[in-house]
Structure 1
Amino acid sequence: MSSSQGPALSTNVARLADGSTSQKEVPFVVNLPLYVKELIAGGAAGAIAKTSVAPLERIKILVQTRTAGFHSLGVYQSLRRLLNHEGVRGFYKGNGASVLRIVPYAALHYMTYEQYRCWILNNYSALGTGSLVDLLAGSAAGGTAVLCTYPLDLARTKLAYQVVDRRCSLGNGIKNIHGPPTYSGIHNVLKSVYKQGGARALYRGVGPTLVGILPYAGLKFYIYEELKSHVPDEHQTSIPMRLSCGAMAGLFGQTLTYPLDVVRRQMQVEHLQPSSHSVRYRNTMDGLTTIVRNQGWRQLFAGLSINYFKIVPSVAIGFTAYDTMKAWLHIPPRQKSKVPAA
């Protein structure tokens, strides 16, 4: 790293970017296994990023699932309506389940990506060391993380789907303006779902989730690494560069796989919808065709604009937090630690 004199802030940012902070700052983590450090860094970054965009995530779910009173509103009007009904706390309903899910999800996603990538490089050298390896490793890591954390994602969606009018709290209680059962928390959701349909019910909608996450996770890493490969060496450790490449990768990946996310959300909440609107999808393809036939093809992209609004800050915060944690935990830059091993 360059040792030229400059502002202290610039020096610190550069050190965080390339992981060259002094080991005296965190002596207790020096001897941790690399995969444990990757788990900690990924989990922390995921929690910070997810909480920062929780209000937009809540609105996106309400739009995707055609919640009464929200499906025809814009972002600003939806946020305002939600604030009137549930107050500021309503912006973060389901965020506890979301963070509880994203910590192990992000931790597993980053760690298994690194492990899968290293394994591919060591065992399938014919694939080279380019972006194809990132595509395969990213897809495998995404599938692994989803299978391990899906019930928590289901709980998050069911909690976020509920819209409770707290303006009625001046009386003896609050009013659920939808009519379906009101879940009191993550444990209550998981217990109720398991009681109704067993373990299989906890994975309702996992099909379209896997179909969507495999290409999305792979494309995200593929596009990110491909964009970075065109950046001059002197800018490889630049945080703005990483954030820009990551945001572009997320935007492209989300656009291509977003319809599958809409099917997943509708499958997750179909038991909560009024019987007159309830439609059971047999599988992912049936969900796609039924939505197009009954709701129009535009519904496959419902909430996508909100996703654009949230994904840029989410990726930016996530990458910054992950890079900071990597530096704090003394995780070597992946390009230096993995590629030579091939």
Structure 2
Amino acid sequence: MCRNFHFQRICMSCFHCPCIHKMLTRTNEFRSLGVLKSLNKLRKHDGVLGFYKGNGASVLRIVPYAALHYMAYERYRCWILNNCPSLGTGPVVDLLAGSASGGTAVLCTYPLDLARTKLAFQVNNSDQPSSALKRANSPPTYGGIKDVFRGVYSEGGVRALYRGVGPTLMGILPYAGLKFYIYEGLKAHVPENYKNSVTLKLSCGAAAGLFGQTLTYPLDVVRRQMQVQSHLQHDQFGGPRITGTFQGLKIIKQTQGWRQLFAGLSLNYIKVVPSVAIGFTAYDTMKHLLKIPPRENKKSGDGSN
């Protein structure tokens, strides 16, 4: 899967986990290893702190993103229930509210996601022993998030900070909507005695993340490749420049094959599925600890909001 030039393409869509970075970018040390062996080798190579390399940029983005995502979901859901009674109270409301909240969170935090991707791609480039990626058109070296913002802004202004936002929105709208749709739909079928079971909440969240990620993954691949490319006519790998979502899907399919649109998906499951499961479980647990009334009880009292 990671042979020849394709392993660099794959790492673009797997920027979230340091062990996956190493496995996909160290051609001799990590490429032939599985996930568990790579984890062990990474621990020996970089120590425990190696597992959290680059985590600062991720945390800086995920905290406001998650807060906005769940807060906006509740507000959009209340608005839909109060203003669109014809939709009822079923899973369609969760689908619409989840999609709208995902789009809101992305638009508010997208520059941070762009910075995180560029910094991660820079780390991957620096790990390469080959000079193929160290040509004159290679991306600049950034010292941190501020350097990324400054450099990207100088390239194309505010618009450049939202490069790749098109496929991101096209991916997040169905992904976020499906997550809430599946999660709340599965929870609705859980017996009352098990409503507060952490294990069941984790299971429902894992299923929601697995299904949603699978359907929208090709758009995530396009987004990553748009984020790391510059204003040059060709990208860092000599391929045509990606300027739009559907054009990007077509270019990747033609130049790298349709399998590339799902390259690294199985590895991404390792991060995304437990992340979504834990996120939903923490979300429900915090609502319980904060004594927020169940949604069935909130509907009658939300008319004044």
Deviation at 1:161, TM superposition (A): 1.1
| Structure 1 position 267 matched with structure 2 position 231 | no
Within 2, Cα distance between the matches of 1:61 and 1:283?
Answer: 26
Within 2, Cα distance between the matches of 1:310 and 1:339?
Answer: 38
| Structure 1 position 329 matched with structure 2 position 301 | no
**Structure 1 segment 87-98 matched on structure 2, within 5 A:** 89-98=49-58
Q: State the SS of the aligned residue for 2:157.
A: helix
* Structure ranking higher on relative contact order (CA contacts 8 Å, 6+ apart): 1
Alignment partner, residue 108 of structure 2: 148
Within 1, Cα distance between the matches of 2:143 and 2:271?
Answer: 27
Q: State the SS of the aligned residue for 2:141.
A: coil
Flag the 1:302–1:275 CA change in 2: closer, same or farther, 3 A.
closer
Within 1, Cα distance between the matches of 2:96 and 2:235?
Answer: 41
Q: Which amino acid aligns with 2:265?
A: L
| Structure 1 position 303 matched with structure 2 position 264 | yes
Within 1, Cα distance between the matches of 2:220 and 2:253?
Answer: 14
- Per-residue CA distance 1:261-281 (angstroms, 9 max, x = gap): 000001111239974535311
Unaligned runs of 5+ in 2: 1-13
Asked if structure 2 preserves the Cα contact closer than 8 Å seen for 1:163 and 1:177, the reply is: no
Deviation at 1:307, TM superposition (A): 1.6
Q: Which amino acid aligns with 1:296?
A: G
Flag the 1:206–1:235 CA change in 2: closer, same or farther, 3 A.
same
- Per-residue CA distance 1:49-82 (angstroms, 9 max, x = gap): xxxxx9853456789xx86849965545665776
Flag the 1:59–1:204 CA change in 2: closer, same or farther, 3 A.
farther
TM-score of the pair, normalised by structure 1: 0.72
Within 2, Cα distance between the matches of 1:228 and 1:102?
Answer: 25
Of 261, 268, 288 in structure 1, the residue corresponding to residue 249 of structure 2 is: 288
Flag the 1:176–1:332 CA change in 2: closer, same or farther, 3 A.
farther
Within 2, Cα distance between the matches of 1:164 and 1:249?
Answer: 30
RMSD between superposed Cα atoms in Å: 3.3
- Per-residue CA distance 1:211-263 (angstroms, 9 max, x = gap): 00000000111111111222222222222111111110110000000000000
Q: State the SS of the aligned residue for 1:163.
A: helix
Asked if structure 2 preserves the Cα contact closer than 8 Å seen for 1:221 and 1:249, the reply is: yes
Query: Rg: which structure is higher?
Result: 1
TM-score of the pair, normalised by structure 2: 0.80
Within 2, Cα distance between the matches of 1:224 and 1:80?
Answer: 33
- Per-residue CA distance 1:152-181 (angstroms, 9 max, x = gap): 0000111111237999xxxxxxx9995343
Q: State the SS of the aligned residue for 2:150.
A: helix
Question: What is the aligned length?
Answer: 280
Q: State the SS of the aligned residue for 1:225.
A: helix
Within 2, Cα distance between the matches of 1:281 and 1:55?
Answer: 19
Unaligned runs of 5+ in 1: 1-53, 168-174
Alignment partner, residue 140 of structure 2: 181
Of 184, 199, 220 in structure 2, the residue corresponding to residue 225 of structure 1 is: 184
Within 1, Cα distance between the matches of 2:132 and 2:56?
Answer: 22
Flag the 1:61–1:139 CA change in 2: closer, same or farther, 3 A.
farther
Alignment partner, residue 6 of structure 2: none
Flag the 1:220–1:166 CA change in 2: closer, same or farther, 3 A.
closer
- Per-residue CA distance 1:115-174 (angstroms, 9 max, x = gap): 00000000110000000000000000000000000000000111111237999xxxxxxx
Asked if structure 1 preserves the Cα contact closer than 8 Å seen for 2:22 and 2:42, the reply is: no
